[in-house]
Amino acid sequence: MALNRDFIGRAFPPSEPYEVTRLKIREFADAIGDLNPVYRDPEAAKAAGHPDVIAPPTFPIVISLTGAGLADPELGLNYAMVVHGEQRFEYNRPLRAGDVVTAESTIAGIRSIGRNERLDLQTVITTVDGEHVCTSHNVIIERGA
Amino acid sequence: MAATVKYDEVEVGQELPARTYPVQRLDLVKYAGASGDFNPIHWNEQFAKSVGLPDVIAHGMFTMAQGGRYVTDWAGDPGAVVDYGVRFSSMVVVPNDGGTEIEITGVIEDKLDGNEVVVALTARSDGQKVLTRAKARVRLA
C-alpha cells in the first residue's frame, strides 16, 4: 500500500530518555554472539581507553526506532511486509553504559521502487547533556503485495 | 581508543581472513528479545510463509552485527569504528533444521587521513550476497 507522502520531512519529537546499562549491552552482545570483553568487563573497557563498557556498533538500532512514530496509522505502514533495506551509523563515539540518550527521528524521504515502498529515516542520538553520540540512517522497504 | 592494527602496516587491496558465523533459529529469538524487534517473520515459519517469504529470515541487523563483529575483531577495539553502513541485498533464510551460515570477507578499500581506513565487506549466505555496499571506516593505531 502506498505510504502517506504527507509524512515526508516529518520530524518526530525526541524519545523518552533511554538509559544504556551494562546488563542491556551484555544481553545484546550475547544475542549477536560477540564475546568481546569490552562489552562485558568494565576493567577491559577501561584498559581499552573507555570510561565503562561500550556497546557494539549496531546497538544504537535498539534506541533509534523508539521515537520514530512509524506505527502511526496515518502513515499506512504494514509492518508484516517490512524488511530492512539499508542501514548506516556515523559515530561520534561509542555508546557506553551510563549514557542517558534520546533519539530524534526525521522521515527524510518516501518513494516507490517498483511495487515496493521505500522510507528513509534519519535518527540523531544525543545524550541528555547535549553530546552527539551517533546518527543512524535507516532505509526500510515495505514489500508490495 | 586502542585499535591494535597499525595504519602503517595495512595496504589498499589487502584481504582480511574470511570468517563464518553460524545462525540458528535460537539466535534470532535471542536477537528479537535483545533488540526489541519482534516481527514474526524472524521466528514464526508459518507467518513468514504466509507473507510470501521462503522461510524464517534473519533480522537484517543480526547480519549487520556479524559484519560489525568481523571488523571489530580484526581492528582490536569496537570503539575504533567511526562509520559503518550496509545494504541488505538478499535475505538470510534460516531453516529449522541445522540453521545456516553467514560467510564474511573483507578487503582494505582505501586509506584516509587521520589513520583511518575503509574496510569493504562482503557477506554471503547459501550462495547469495546478503550484504552489499558494506563499508566500515575504522581508525587504526
Distance (Å) from the C-alpha of residue B1 to the closest C-alpha of chain A? 6
Q: State the pLDDT confidence band at A145, using cuts at 50, 70 and 90.
A: low
In this prediction the pTM is 0.95
Residue A80: the pLDDT is 81
- Which of A34, A82, A93 is facing B69, going by the closest CB pair? A34
What's the mean pLDDT in B99-104? Answer: 98
What's the mean pLDDT in A19-44? Answer: 98
- Cα angle: B88, vertex A23, A26; to 5 degrees: 45
DSSP letter at B113 equals S
- Which of B2, B88, B91 is facing A86, going by the closest CB pair? B88
Alpha-carbon distance of A107 to A69, in angstroms, equals 10
Partners of residue A47 in chain B, C-beta under 8 Å: 2
Please indicate if any CB of chain B lies within 8 Å of the CB of A71. no
Lowest mean pLDDT among A93-97, B36-40, B105-109: B36-40
Please indicate if any CB of chain A lies within 8 Å of the CB of B95. no
Q: Which three cell numbers stand for residue B66?
A: 556479524
Residue A69: the pLDDT is 80
Q: Is A119 exposed, middle or buried (0-12, 13-18, 19+ CB in 10 A)?
A: buried
Question: For A6-28, what is each residue's pLDDT tens digit?
Answer: 999 999 999 999 999 999 999 99
In this model, does residue A65 exceed pLDDT 80?
no
Structural contact between residues A61 and A125, judged by C-beta atoms closer than 8 angstroms: no
Residue among A35, A89, A134 with most chain B CBs within 10 A, to mutate: A89
Partners of residue A56 in chain B, C-beta under 8 Å: 65, 68-69, 72, 78
Residue among B72, B74, B92 with most chain A CBs within 10 A, to mutate: B72
Please state the ipTM of this predicted complex.
Answer: 0.95
Partners of residue A95 in chain B, C-beta under 8 Å: none
Question: For B25-70, what is each residue's pLDDT tens digit?
Answer: 999 999 999 999 999 999 999 999 999 999 999 999 999 999 999 9
Average confidence score pLDDT of chain B: 96
Please indicate if any CB of chain A lies within 8 Å of the CB of B82. yes
Please indicate if any CB of chain A lies within 8 Å of the CB of B89. no
Top-tier CATH class for B7-139: alpha beta
Residue B111: the pLDDT is 98
Q: How many CB atoms lie within 10 A of CB B75?
A: 24
Please indicate if any CB of chain B lies within 8 Å of the CB of A83. yes
Residue A83: the pLDDT is 87
Partners of residue B34 in chain A, C-beta under 8 Å: 24, 27-28, 30-32, 62
Please indicate if any CB of chain A lies within 8 Å of the CB of B110. no
What's the mean pLDDT in A29-38? Answer: 97
Nearest CA in chain A to B22: A33
Any idea which fold A5-19+63-142 has? Thiol Ester Dehydrase; Chain A (3.10.129)
Please indicate if any CB of chain B lies within 8 Å of the CB of A33. yes
Distance (Å) from the C-alpha of residue B11 to the closest C-alpha of chain A? 24
Residue type, B50: S
Alpha-carbon distance of A26 to A54, in angstroms, equals 10
Alpha-carbon distance of A67 to A57, in angstroms, equals 20
Alpha-carbon distance of B64 to A84, in angstroms, equals 11
